[in-house]
Amino acid sequence: MTVSGIIKRIGGVFLVLLGVMLLIFIMLRIIPGDPVSVMLSEHVSQETIDRIKISMGLDRSLPAQFFSYLKGAVRGDLGESYFLKEPVVDLIAEAFPYTLKLAVFAALIAWAFGIISGMICAMFNNSFPDYLFRGLSLFGVSVPIFMVALCLQYLLYFKLSVFPLSYDGSFGSMVLPAIALGWNSAGSVARLTRSSLMEQLGSPYIDTAMAKGLSYKGAVIKHAFRNAMLPIVTMMALQFSGMLSGAVITESIFSIPGIGKLALTAIQTRDMPLLQGTVLFTAFLIAIGNLLADVLNALLDPRISVS
Amino acid sequence: MIKEPLLEIKDLSVSIKKADGNIPIIKKVNIVIPRGTIVGLVGESGSGKSMTARTVNGILPPKAVVTGGSVIWHGKDEKDKDLTSLKERELRKLCGRGVSMVFQEPMTSLNPLMRVGDQVSEVLLIHGLVKNRAEARKKVVAMFDEVGITEPDLRYNAYPHQLSGGMRQRVMIAMAVICEPELLIADEPTTALDVTIEAQILKIIRNMCTARNMSALFITHNMDAVAKLCDEVYVMYMGRVVERAPVKEIFDSPAHPYTRGLLSSIPAIGNSPEYLNTIPGNIPEIKKETKGCDFCLRCSDDIRKCFFESPKEVMTGEGHYASCHILEDKLK
Amino acid sequence: MKVKDFIRNRMAFFSAVIIILIVLFSLVIPAISGFDPAGQDLSSRLCPPDSVHFFGTDELGRDVLTRLFYGTRISLLVALIPTAISVLIGMILGITGAYCGKWVDFMIMWLADVTLSVPGMLLAMVVLYSFGGSFISVFLSLVILEWGSIARIVRSSALSIQESEFITAARTMGVRSLSIILRHILPNLIPTIIVLFTLNIPTSILSESALSFLGIGIQPPGVSLGLMVNQSRQFLFDMPWLALAPAGMIMILVLAFHFLGDALRDILDPRSDI
């Protein structure tokens, strides 16, 4: 990757983040009626509304509001939560470690299972294990996450009482949420590993490796696997940033106080600054994930010089 | 002078497994590769020449199975063993060390993610011929120099996509000969290259074989390359060897109508384009079992017998054999 | 012959049959069961399955079977309409971007990137925050969620069609822009668009059910499969079928559309990389 390529790419990230900010900002302010009265569910006097409006800076013109928000965001200030009366940044910083822990755990389980089963499928194509894991991975991509979570709670907590029902800070209570969150990812990684590895197994360089004296297994591990990993690594980077930002359902079912739960609280308490802040933060994570995927690809594949 | 054989392919048959029965792609092929000789294997695409070569080092596609015959190896290791019944581990030990191979597509036959030098070093390391990577590197650089790669030390670190087709094929040749094998199989090594590069590559293969007293099985559909490189020629058509002879014999007095067709398809300077000869028709679809001579549908002077009986091999000159009913009748 | 291919592809045929059956049931069963999907009967709350209520009743004494198929009807509706709208928008913007190029293309792709870089669930939450949990806002949030990826794929297919010789030929012969789009580019995109439509239906079903499950999508007294799972979650351990029946229905629908989409892609658009 050349320097100008990197600069261009990072510039693109900023442009997209600016767009996200603008989009969210506009969407949260084109509410029919007035944003403050939407935030306050019960009837309050016009006086109170005006007071809150001024305290949140909502009395100024939209561009002025946007630029002051933008200025704050650049300095790391996303405003104050209306409901929890705390800076949004602090709330995010508090919630993020939980989400991170969950995502790391989920990713490890999902990828280990996905890659191994995908490899087995590709190497023993059209055999019983292939059909078995292909069937499983299909369930992986099609079963809704809440169904996975509820089934896990029913089986492993209620019937077998192996794991706790919801998050209590212990390691064991992270297992069920991690499986639920990783479920879809495991399915798609397995499917991609299978197709990518099968494509590489048909490549002539595998014949070369075997003609050199490597066994089939050796050729797969030393040559095909690394080539097959290229698209999978991209997918993994995107999945991980997705897990960090999209665990709303898992966190709500297992009551984990992470980012997703925070966003849900924000919408339930009609806390506009908090919702705005969490959405922006997750968009930032996704953008970083995309960037990371590109960088990893450039590092692993000598053929990519400029992205 | 009869040379000692290095490899004997005896009555080899290979089929592709399909749900509705096997489809034979190689039918009772006999090939002998003497020591220090370059044997050419000629035929159109789909004639089974690549499959024959792949049987030798056991890299047939998964659906292809050996249904009969043997491949007897007379090299140093695994002497006088049948390669088709050798255990996978023993066969892999032989590959790269005793028998090595150069493939058609230098673009895709190299791992795109590995430095070319490391890919060549790998052969030495697999077979334990060097103690460490540094020693391997030294040997590889010397070999790169020998196959005509300029700035070998620099090229060692290049990735395949940074090299031209000719350079990549030189890397493949370096990889194939670095362990000093006794047999080099070259599967259409010049098909994907320019004509000028082709001549260089052929020269390198020739030199390598002479310098090391190495035998080679050279697979091609290019009669011109055969004339430049080979000592003996086998002509294959639809999975059968239809003619075999020393190279001079083939060009001077081709016996089988198919070989004659192949030779007359080479355009010569001076002929006007209207005289560009071709063999009429295409290779027919390979079916389960065929009766009669495989070439009869495209042959210009077939007789009734051609449609019902497979022709036997007849001798038409010294070391020159062909399978054809018409020749048989003529010789009687 | 494409119809023949379709019938020969067993998975696709089977999926199509399942989908047609579910659609028929969702139309017929709520009408003939004799129960109102919203009709409460507090005297028979949380009944286990019996001969009157085949799937039992929920916490307000409503017949689960009736609600299941009524909810399926709503979920299918919510899946089909926004998907159709997003495919239409994605198609128009994708073709426009590919055809106009330059800043128009840049703006469209930037907008797509912006919507795609917000996690779908959160983007939908922002829309639902602004517009409340009505049918229309669920529709709107799904459209905002999906149009971007569709526009991207349509754009890249349109670009590759544009580069083919016959478009250049049409241009050199002086065919006007609009008629190049309508006569040459659009017909070649139809297979891609059909496949995109089919493959986006399961995405919509999953998104809608997730939003309703979180309690921010379809609101009671409306019925949707995701909402049913949410409402019966508290009885998971005593009466698991209450939650698992609607969840299972979602799964069957998603699988069936998924298979159908895969098969359609193989048949209509064998070389595509959607």
Q: Does residue B157 belong to the interface with chain A, where contact is any CB pair within 8 Å?
A: no
- For chain A, say whether B127 makes contact (Cβ under 8 Å): yes
Nearest by CB to residue C258, choosing from A142, A252, A272, is: A142
Same domain, A160 and A268: yes
Cβ-Cβ contacts under 8 Å for B219 (sequence gap 6 or more): B40, B41, B49, B50, B53, B185, B186, B187, B188
* B95, pLDDT greater than 60: yes
Ranges A268-277, C12-21, C162-171: which has the least confidence: C162-171
- CA distances in angstroms from A70 to A20, A24, A25, B36, B216, listed in the order given: 11, 12, 10, 79, 72
The percent of residues above 70 in pLDDT, for chain B, comes to: 90
CA B181 to chain centre: 16
Single-letter code of the amino acid located at A267: I
**What are the chain A neighbours of C248 within 8 Å (beta carbons)?**
147
- The answer on A25 and A97 residing in a single domain is no
pLDDT band, residue C271 (cuts 50/70/90): low
Q: Which of B105-109, B152-156, B288-292, B317-321 ranks highest by mean pLDDT?
A: B152-156
Query: Please, which residues bridge with residue A80 across strands?
Result: A87
Q: How far is CA B187 from CA A36, B184, B303, in A?
A: 77, 10, 35
Put simply, whether A193 touches C (Cβ < 8 Å) is: no
pLDDT at A307: 38
pLDDT of residue B130: 84
Structure tokens at A125: 């194509």
Asked if A233 reaches chain B (Cβ–Cβ under 8 Å), the answer is no
Of A61 and B29, the one with more pLDDT: B29
Q: How many domains does chain A have?
A: 2
What pLDDT score was predicted for residue A41?
57
Residue C273 reports pLDDT greater than 60: no
Residue C44 has pLDDT above 80, yes or no: no
A100's tokens:
């991170």
**Nearest beta carbon to residue B96 from set A211, A222, A223:** A211
Q: Which chains touch B (3 or more CB pairs under 8 A)?
A: A
pLDDT of residue A306: 43
User: What are the CA-CA distances from residue C102 to residues A5, A20, C180 (Å)?
Assistant: 20, 22, 19
SS3 call for C134: coil
Question: Which string of b and e fits C200-216 if b means at least 16 CB within 10 Å?
Answer: bbbbbbbbbbbbbbbbb
Q: C114 vs A23: CB contact, 8 Å cut-off? A: yes
A253 compared with C41, residue with greater pLDDT: A253
Among A46, A74, A102, the domain-final residue is: A74
Of C118, C129, C226, which is closest to A267 when you measure between CB atoms? C129
Residue labelled with tokens 């193989």: C266
Helix (H, G, I), strand (E, B) or coil at A85: coil
Instruction: Using CB atoms, list chains with 3+ pairs below 8 Å to chain C.
Output: A
Considering CB atoms only, which of A142, A151, A260 is closest to C255?
A: A142
Residue B38 phi, psi (nearest 5): -105, 115
DSSP assignments along A208-245, one per residue: HHHHHT--HHHHIIIIIHHHHHHHHHHHHHHHHHHHHH
Whether C1 shows a pLDDT value over 50: the answer reads: no
In a domain, A80, yes or no: no
B97 inside 8 A of chain A by CB: yes
CA dist., res. A12 & res. A22, Å (int): 15
How far is the C-alpha of B48 from the C-alpha of A289, rounded, in Å? 50
Confidence (pLDDT) at C88: 93
Contacts of B257 by beta carbon, 8 Å cutoff, 6+ apart: B295, B299, B300, B301, B324, B326
Do A242 and C119 count as a contact with CB atoms less than 8 A apart? yes
pLDDT (average), residues B217-243: 86
The predicted structure's pLDDT at residue A100: 92
H-assigned helices in chain C: 2-8, 10-32, 64-100, 102-116, 120-131, 135-162, 165-172, 177-180, 186-213, 225-232, 240-268
pLDDT 10s per residue in chain A (307 long)?
Answer: 567 777 888 888 888 889 988 888 888 877 655 666 666 656 667 777 777 777 777 777 778 888 888 888 878 777 777 777 888 888 999 999 999 999 999 999 999 999 998 888 888 877 777 888 878 888 887 888 888 888 888 888 888 887 887 888 788 888 889 999 998 889 889 889 988 888 888 888 888 888 888 888 888 888 888 888 888 988 898 888 888 876 888 998 888 998 989 998 888 888 888 888 898 898 888 888 888 888 888 888 887 764 3
The answer to the question of residue A82 being in a domain is no
Chain A residue with CA closest to B111: the answer is: A205
Query: Average pLDDT of chain B?
Result: 82
pLDDT for the residue C98: 84
End-of-domain residue from the set A41, A74, A107: A74
Could you confirm whether domain B5-230 is CATH 3.40.50.300? yes
Distance CA C31, CA C73 (A): 12
A305 within a domain of the structure (yes/no): no
Query: Taking CB atoms and an 8 Å limit, are A263 and C216 in contact across chains?
Result: no
- Quote the pLDDT of residue A107: 93
Q: A132 near C242, Cβ under 8 Å?
A: no
Q: What is the CATH number of the domain that holds A128?
A: 1.10.3720.10
Same domain, A29 and A94: no
Q: Tell me, what's the pLDDT at A42?
A: 60
- The HSE-up count of residue C240 (CA atoms within 13 Å, CB side) is 12
* Alpha carbon C14 to its chain's center: 19
**CB of C13 within 8 A of CB of C6?**
yes
State whether residue A184 sits within 8 Å of chain C by CB. Answer: no
Q: Is A79 within a domain?
A: no
Q: Is A85 on the interface with B (CB under 8 A)?
A: no
Examine the predicted complex and report whether its ipTM is higher than 0.95.
no
Helices (H), chain A: 3-29, 35-39, 46-55, 62-75, 88-123, 128-142, 145-152, 175-201, 204-212, 216-219, 225-245, 248-253, 259-268, 272-300
- Give the mean pLDDT of B39-51: 84
Task: Tell me the pTM.
Answer: 0.80
The mean pLDDT of B105-114, rounded to a whole number, is 85
CA distances from A266 to A278, B240, C87, C125, C126 (A): 9, 77, 31, 10, 10
Is A134 within 8 Å of chain C by CB?
no
Mean pLDDT of the B147-159 span:
89
Is the residue at A93 inside a domain? Answer: yes
Classify B237 as helix, strand or coil: strand
Same domain, A102 and A231: yes
Kindly report which listed range (A8-22, A66-80, B235-249, B268-282) carries the lowest average pLDDT score: B268-282
Distance from CA of A209 to the nearest CA of B (A): 9
- Give me the domain span that covers residue A177: 88-300
Domain segments of chain B as ranges? 5-230
The answer to whether A261 faces chain B, any CB pair under 8 Å, is no
Strands B64-73 and B81-82 come out as antiparallel
What per-residue confidence (pLDDT) applies to C46? 66
Question: What pLDDT does residue B286 have?
Answer: 61
A208 contacts in chain B (CB < 8 Å)? 101, 103, 109-111, 172, 175
Q: What Rg value do the Cα atoms of chain C yield, rounded? A: 22
Q: Which two tokens stand for residue A200?
A: 């590489």
Co-location of A60 and A182 in the same domain? no
Residue from B14, B25, B46 nearest B283 by CA = B46
Please name the residues between 234 and 293 in chain A that touch chain C, using a CB distance below 8 Å.
242, 245-246, 248-249, 252, 260, 263-264, 267-268, 270, 272, 275, 278-279, 282-283, 286-287, 290
Using the 3D structure, point to which of A52, A74, A96 is the last residue of a domain: A74
Nearest CA in chain B to A203: B108
How are strands ordered across the β-sheet holding B313-317? B99-102, B183-187, B215-220, B38-42, B232-237, B240-246, B320-323, B313-317
pLDDT (mean) for B184-201? 85
Chain A interface disruption, residue of C14, C111, C115, C117, most A CBs within 10 A:
C117
* Structure confidence at residue B329 as a pLDDT band (50, 70, 90): confident
Residue from B260, B311, B234 nearest B49 by CA = B234
Give the pLDDT band (50/70/90) at residue B288.
low
DSSP state of B97: T
Interface test with C, best of A150, A155, A161 (most C CBs within 10 A): A150
Residues A131 and A239 in one domain: yes
| Residue B75, strand partner residues | none
- Closest-CA residue of chain B to A301: B113
Strands B183-187 and B99-102: parallel
pLDDT of residue A108: 93
Q: Are the beta carbons of B109 and A303 separated by less than 8 Å?
A: no
Instruction: Give the residue-averaged pLDDT of B240-257.
Output: 84
